[in-house]
């Protein structure tokens, strides 16, 4: 019997070790496969090719490859704005590419990113090449992009979900009261609405004012762009949205001039095939991933402009393992130091797409922006959002370029601390403390916070706000009083921000690169892209088991995973933050 258990234990141990070895080998195999796939291969399109832009997934500035998606059978649904813009530019210059075919799907993106693609397609059309769009169903974002096409087709049983914009805020005060938890709020900024869900049961008048202001501004721009592209009026676009035609049959979209014809997908593809001069039975297209790698003629100049991408929440070095989202850490500051010391880099474009986050990390990045500016020009290009901490890391640049619909500003600061006395009483939980100094137990959630402790924390918050507006005032050449008057946590669109002096010019990353070249007095240069966000592959060696756990939990929890992730982010977030009051929902 003893021998039996010994053999059974040995077999079990062997199985466990084998499984562990298999997992480890799989991880390194996936790293190798993903790394090889990420290496660009020069591409040369065949004659009469058509660039296909498949609008299916979420759009970000840069795509992060995730080898676990392949392992777990998930579809990789992240799209790269950088890749799409490069592909459109290469397609315009290629004699073998005759046009663009946009296929709309389940697409979500910020309006500023869509604006950038629409500009690129408008530029593409100047070559005389065609652009055709088709969708079984158009989301609001995919239609906004597709509306710039020469022809827009929709399935006879499809839908065009153009409804307008809305913003919903969930309030937790009542729930926390029932649980016996009181959130102690410390903030500076009348419009700093991030704390309102924890202290109110509806939007404050100030917060409602700013949301209405920026949302109406963005919607006005969207409807104006659609109307111009479709040769209809803004009233026509709003009529479609106001009548609820989004849930009607697509004939209503045709009647309102939003689409050209009702076609089934094979019919639309046959039309594109004829335009391209293809003679095969099926439409042959090439994707963004290939066209972006068409080998362009690079200039001979040794001068370089670096584009440094800072995308995601601004966090401390230690982040939640339950998030695959991009994040901005002190890695951005380190990259700025490298770029400052690299003599071949003559100017830097810092691409910021962030709602903010950690005040401490924002300060470290701001410092390196300031130091780099002493040596060479740095220009900020703002994406969909560059607010609060996102503006903090931008304000010291030589110039700031934003899209008209960029959300920026939100110059304010806040902190939140829980008082869980009520919860402790509900469950009959008591604590006792022995301490050596007055504030040794500062932050103890089991007791009410004393007034002297509140005064200390509020003082730190006010000091942080003073530092924030000082950084902005110095960077923008304004007084602290002037920054304070447009600060107070107020969110502005790019159009509004340029009027307030927070932004220098309107445009996309291509405009920012041109401004940087002018500041550096460069006519010939090459571009170098640098990622400053958390990267999946580079962090994989340090957090292999965390990433495996993440994907397993995500598979098990399904749609509930997002709530789980949010709770973990709240738990791991620093107490003092410069963050946008809410998460910005894509179109």
Rounded Cα distance between 144 and 219, Å, is 11
Contacts of 40 (CB under 8 A, 6+ apart): 292, 293
The span from the first CA to the last CA of the chain, in angstroms, equals 67
Please give the DSSP secondary-structure letter assigned to residue 190: T
Rounded Cα distance between 42 and 289, Å, is 11
Rounded Cα distance between 454 and 461, Å, is 11
Q: Contact, 103 vs 134, CB < 8 A?
A: yes
Cβ-based burial of 380 (10 A; exposed 0-12, middle 13-18, buried ≥19): buried
CB atoms within 10 A of CB 496: 21
Over the Cα atoms of the chain, what is R_g? 26
Catalytic residue among 63, 89, 151, 192: 192
Of 489, 478, 464, whose CA–CA distance to 363 is shortest?
464
Q: Contact, 272 vs 101, CB < 8 A?
A: yes
Q: Which helix (H) or strand (E) holds 567?
A: helix 561-572
C-alpha angle 356-411-413 in degrees, rounded to nearest 5: 70
Rounded Cα distance between 146 and 157, Å, is 18
Q: Which helix (H) or strand (E) holds 378?
A: strand 378-387
Of 471, 470, 443, 437, whose CA–CA distance to 456 is shortest?
443
Instruction: State yes or no: is 296 an active-site residue.
Output: no
User: Residue 487 to residues 362, 416, 480, 483, 574: CA-CA distances in angstroms?
Assistant: 17, 20, 10, 6, 22
- The pair of three-digit structure tokens given for residue 241, joined into one six-digit string: 């949205």
Backbone angles phi, psi at 424, to 5 degrees: -60, -40
Instruction: State yes or no: is 60 an active-site residue.
Output: no
Catalytic residue among 327, 388, 394, 410: 388
Strand blocks (E) in 304-377: 304-311, 313-314, 327-328, 345-354, 356-358
Residues classed as catalytic = 192, 388
């Amino acid at each position: 019997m003893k021998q039996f258990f010994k053999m059974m234990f040995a077999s079990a141990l062997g199985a466990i070790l084998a499984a562990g070895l298999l997992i480890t080998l799989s991880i390194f195999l996936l790293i190798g496969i993903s790394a090889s796939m990420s290496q660009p291969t020069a591409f040369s399109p065949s004659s009469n090719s058509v660039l296909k832009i498949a609008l299916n997934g979420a759009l970000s500035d840069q795509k992060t490859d995730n080898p676990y998606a392949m392992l777990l059978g998930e579809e990789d649904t992240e799209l790269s704005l950088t890749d799409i813009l490069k592909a459109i530019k290469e397609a315009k210059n290629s004699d073998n590419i005759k046009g663009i075919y946009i296929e709309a799907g389940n697409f979500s993106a910020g309006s500023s990113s869509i604006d950038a693609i629409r500009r690129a397609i408008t530029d593409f059309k100047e070559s005389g090449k065609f652009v055709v769009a088709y969708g079984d169903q158009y989301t609001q974002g995919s239609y906004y992009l597709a509306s710039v096409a020469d022809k827009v087709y929709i399935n006879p049983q499809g839908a065009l979900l153009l409804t307008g914009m809305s913003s919903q805020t969930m309030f937790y005060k009542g729930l926390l009261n029932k649980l016996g938890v009181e959130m102690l709020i410390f903030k500076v900024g009348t419009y700093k609405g991030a704390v309102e869900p924890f202290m109110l049961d509806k939007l404050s008048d100030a917060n409602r004012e700013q949301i209405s202001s920026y949302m109406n501004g963005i919607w006005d721009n969207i409807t104006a762009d659609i109307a111009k592209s479709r040769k209809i009026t803004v009233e026509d676009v709003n009529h479609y949205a106001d009548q609820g035609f989004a849930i009607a049959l697509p004939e209503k979209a045709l009647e309102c001039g939003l689409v050209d014809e009702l076609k089934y997908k094979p019919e639309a593809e046959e039309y594109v095939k004829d335009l391209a001069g293809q003679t095969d039975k099926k439409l042959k297209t090439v994707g963004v991933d290939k066209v972006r790698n068409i080998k362009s003629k690079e200039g001979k100049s040794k001068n370089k402009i670096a584009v440094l991408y800072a995308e995601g929440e601004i966090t401390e070095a230690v982040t939640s393992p339950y998030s695959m989202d991009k994040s901005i850490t002190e890695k951005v500051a380190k990259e700025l130091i490298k770029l400052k010391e690299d003599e071949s880099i003559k100017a830097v474009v810092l691409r910021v797409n962030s709602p903010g986050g950690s005040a401490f990390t924002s300060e470290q990045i701001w410092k390196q922006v300031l130091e780099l500016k002493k040596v060479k020009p740095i220009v900020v290009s703002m994406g969909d959002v560059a607010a609060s901490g996102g503006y903090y890391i931008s304000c010291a640049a030589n110039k700031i370029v934003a899209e008209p619909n960029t959300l920026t500003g939100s110059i304010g600061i806040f902190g939140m601390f829980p008082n869980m006395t009520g919860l402790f009483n509900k469950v009959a939980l008591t604590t006792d403390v022995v301490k050596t100094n007055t504030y040794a137990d500062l932050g103890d959630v089991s007791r009410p916070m004393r007034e002297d402790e509140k005064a200390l924390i509020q003082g730190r918050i006010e000091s942080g706000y003073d530092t924030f507006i000082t950084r902005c005032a110095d960077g923008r050449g304004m007084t602290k009083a002037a920054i304070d008057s447009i600060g107070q946590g107020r969110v502005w669109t790019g159009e509004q921000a340029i009027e307030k002096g927070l932004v220098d010019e309107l445009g996309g990353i291509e405009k920012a690169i041109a401004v940087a070249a002018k500041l550096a007095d460069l006519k010939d240069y090459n571009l170098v892209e640098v990622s400053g966000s958390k990267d999946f592959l580079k962090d994989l060696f340090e957090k292999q088991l965390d990433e495996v756990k993440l994907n397993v939990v995500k598979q098990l929890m399904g749609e509930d995973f997002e709530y789980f992730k949010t709770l973990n982010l709240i738990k791991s977030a620093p107490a003092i933050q410069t963050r946008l009051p809410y998460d910005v929902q894509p179109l």
